[in-house]
Structures are given as structure tokens and as C-alpha cells.
């Protein structure tokens, strides 16, 4: 084994260095090409077709703090009259795990001043790429404000804009989270941006598509049938 490394050390070093260079170049490119579209102040955001709130972990119907922060920010952007509709996009691939209905119920339970017709639900937003692809193809969104934490916002805007959405990002403040948590997010994001770059490069398809539900229509058409009757 030692002799192998001695023999191939130069090749291993060059390959590793090249890999690291490519990874950090992709990350730099994604951040630099989207930074002018990312905002931290609601009043500076433009008016768009829809607010897109990206899903995150839930425990039964209880939102994680990360998701709650995103959702409240999205509601505040609606209140600022930046859009008429809000798209809740997340993982509802299993009956026992449901991010989108948890978000919808949170809005209704808190009596936010948002009409039911304004709330659209994407049950197959299994990852950021799927969420953006479906926002364009299923919900016919041409312009959007994406709401997520700072570590995630550049990748989200990058994907959306490369898929044809005139997208802007609202970076939810994450300073209240532990440094160790934020550090883990940023390390994981380095590799996830590479995947996003690859998905755009090869024009990946989402897990599911389906019939169109235009964002200009009634959001309740995207609700589960049993929930429409409530």
C-alpha cells in the first residue's frame, strides 16, 4: 500500500487538487452570479407572481424552527404586497411525513391574513431543484421571491433563474442558530451546490410532474381533496 502511494502520489495530488479547485470554482460561480438577486430587507424586494417557501423538517405537524422562520418571513412578504400568491413547496412523498400540509395548517391556525385561495401547495418538492422545476412547469410561475435561510439562498436562486424563473431571494436571518449548526449547513451546501450545477448542466428532470395549476388561479386546486372540504 505504501509503495502504491509513493508511486502514484503525484497523480493523486493532482487529481485531488483539481477536484477541490472544481468544487470551489462552482461554489464561487453560483454565489457571484446570484448575489445581486438576494435581499435581506423586505422593502427592497420587487413585486412578483409568487412567494416560494421551501420546505424543511417537520415532526408530525410541528414545524422545525428553520421552517417556521421561513414561513413567517414568507407571510410578511405577502403582507408587504410583493405578491398575491404563496407556494408552499416541500416533501409529501409519504402519508406520515407531510411538510406542505403542516405549513398550510400553521398559516390557518395562526389566523394570518392570507386567503385560502392564495395558498398553493407543491406536494412533490422533494429537493430544491424539483421545487423550482415544478414552480415553472406546474404552477407557471414566471417571477418569484424564494424564501429560505442565507446558506441555502444562492443555490435556490441559481436553480430558479437557470430554469427560466425571474427569481429573487429573501435570505432569512440564521444568526440565532448555533455556530456548529450553521457550520454544518455551510459544509453540506458546498457539495449540494455542485449537484445543482450538474442538474442544470444536464437538464435533469424532477421526480414528478403532473397537471398544470397556474399560480394565477385558485390555490385550493392544489390542496388534498379531504382538506378542500374542511
> Residue 224 above 90 pLDDT?
no
Top-level class of domain 2-228 = alpha beta
DSSP category for residue 41: -
E strands, the chain, are 38-39, 50-54, 58-59, 62-63, 85-89, 119-122, 143-149, 166-172
pLDDT tens digits for 183-209?
A: 999 999 999 999 999 999 999 999 999
E strands, 55-98, are 58-59, 62-63, 85-89
Instruction: Please answer whether residues 161 and 177 qualify as being in contact, where contact means their C-beta atoms are separated by less than 8 angstroms.
Output: no
> Residue 156 above 50 pLDDT?
yes
The reported pLDDT for the residue numbered 227 is 56
pLDDT tens digits for 95-110?
A: 889 999 999 999 999 9
Average pLDDT for the chain: 92
> Residue 229 above 50 pLDDT?
no
Report the sign of the C-alpha dihedral through residues 122, 124, 128, 129, in that order.
Answer: negative
Pairing of strands 62-63, 58-59: antiparallel
Q: What residue ranges do the domains of the chain occupy? A: 2-228
Sequence-ordered list of residues with C-beta below 8 angstroms from that of 76, at least 6 positions apart, any chain: 42
* pLDDT tier at 119, thresholds 50, 70, 90: very high
The reported pLDDT for the residue numbered 94 is 83
Angle in degrees, 0-180, between the axes of helices 2-34 and 150-162, rounded to the nearest 10: 80
Q: Would you say the pTM of this structure is higher than 0.75?
A: yes
pLDDT above 70 covers what percent of the chain?
Answer: 93
> Residue 181 above 50 pLDDT?
yes
The reported pLDDT for the residue numbered 147 is 98
The reported pLDDT for the residue numbered 218 is 96
pLDDT tens digits for 24-72?
A: 999 999 999 999 999 999 999 999 999 999 999 999 889 999 999 999 9
End-to-end CA distance of the chain: 67
* pLDDT tier at 228, thresholds 50, 70, 90: low
The reported pLDDT for the residue numbered 12 is 74
**CA of 106: how far to CAs of 30, 119, 153, 209, in Å?**
33, 12, 23, 26
Beta bridge partners of 144: 50, 167
> Residue 118 above 60 pLDDT?
yes
pLDDT tens digits for 82-93?
A: 999 999 999 998
Any idea what the Cα angle at residue 172 is, between residues 33 and 55, rounded to 5°? 90
Amino acid at each position: 500500500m505504501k509503495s502504491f502511494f509513493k508511486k502514484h502520489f503525484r497523480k493523486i495530488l493532482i487529481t485531488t487538487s483539481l477536484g477541490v479547485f472544481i468544487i470551489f470554482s462552482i461554489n464561487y460561480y453560483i454565489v457571484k452570479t446570484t448575489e445581486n438577486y438576494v435581499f435581506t430587507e423586505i422593502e427592497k424586494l420587487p413585486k412578483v407572481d409568487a412567494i416560494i417557501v421551501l420546505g424543511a423538517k417537520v415532526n408530525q405537524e410541528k414545524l422545525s424552527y428553520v421552517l417556521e422562520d421561513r414561513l413567517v418571513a414568507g407571510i410578511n412578504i405577502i403582507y408587504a404586497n410583493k405578491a398575491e400568491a404563496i407556494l408552499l413547496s416541500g416533501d409529501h412523498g409519504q402519508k406520515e411525513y407531510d411538510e406542505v400540509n403542516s405549513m398550510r395548517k400553521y398559516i390557518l391556525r395562526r389566523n394570518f391574513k392570507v386567503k385560502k385561495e392564495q395558498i398553493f401547495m407543491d406536494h412533490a418538492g422533494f429537493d430544491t431543484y424539483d421545487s423550482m422545476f415544478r414552480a415553472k412547469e406546474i404552477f407557471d410561475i414566471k417571477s418569484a421571491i424564494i424564501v429560505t435561510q442565507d446558506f441555502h439562498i444562492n443555490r435556490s436562486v441559481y436553480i430558479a433563474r437557470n430554469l427560466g424563473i425571474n427569481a429573487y431571494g429573501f435570505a432569512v436571518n440564521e444568526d440565532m442558530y448555533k455556530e456548529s449548526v450553521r457550520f454544518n449547513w455551510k459544509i453540506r451546501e458546498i457539495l449540494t451546490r455542485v449537484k445543482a450545477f450538474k442538474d442544470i448542466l444536464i437538464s435533469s428532470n424532477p421526480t414528478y410532474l403532473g397537471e398544470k395549476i397556474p399560480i394565477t388561479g385558485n390555490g385550493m386546486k392544489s390542496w388534498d381533496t379531504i382538506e378542500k372540504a374542511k
